[in-house]
């Protein structure tokens, strides 16, 4: 059985969590906490999230990317 490295697992968790948010399963407060506590810097996080900008609910995507643009996390 292949075990994923911690950074790879973290990136996957951030991606899947963001997808859950964009699908309406969680709220902005929850995803902002996930992103802040992931241990990833903003630039690598944005590299994970940018491909998801057209995924799911456009209003949620707009709210998330607006928060990312205004946040110093």
Residue-wise pLDDT for 17-60, tens only, equals: 999 999 999 999 999 999 999 999 999 999 999 999 999 999 99
Rg (CA), the chain: 12
Domain-embedded: residue 53: yes
Domain-embedded: residue 19: yes
Domain-embedded: residue 39: yes
Q: Give the pLDDT of residue 72.
A: 78
Q: Can you give the pTM of this predicted structure?
A: 0.88
> Residue 31 is part of which domain span?
6-70
Number of domains in the chain: 1
Domain-embedded: residue 1: no
Nearest to 25 by CA among 3, 62, 56: 56
**What is the chain's percent helix, strand, coil content, to nearest 5?**
70, 0, 30
């Amino acid at each position: 059985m292949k075990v994923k490295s911690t950074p790879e697992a973290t990136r996957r968790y951030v991606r899947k969590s963001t997808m859950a948010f964009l699908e309406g399963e969680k709220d902005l407060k929850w995803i902002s906490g996930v992103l802040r506590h992931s241990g990833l810097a903003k630039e690598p996080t944005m590299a994970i999230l940018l491909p998801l900008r057209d995924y799911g609910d456009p209003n949620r995507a707009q709210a998330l990317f607006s928060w990312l643009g205004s946040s110093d996390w």
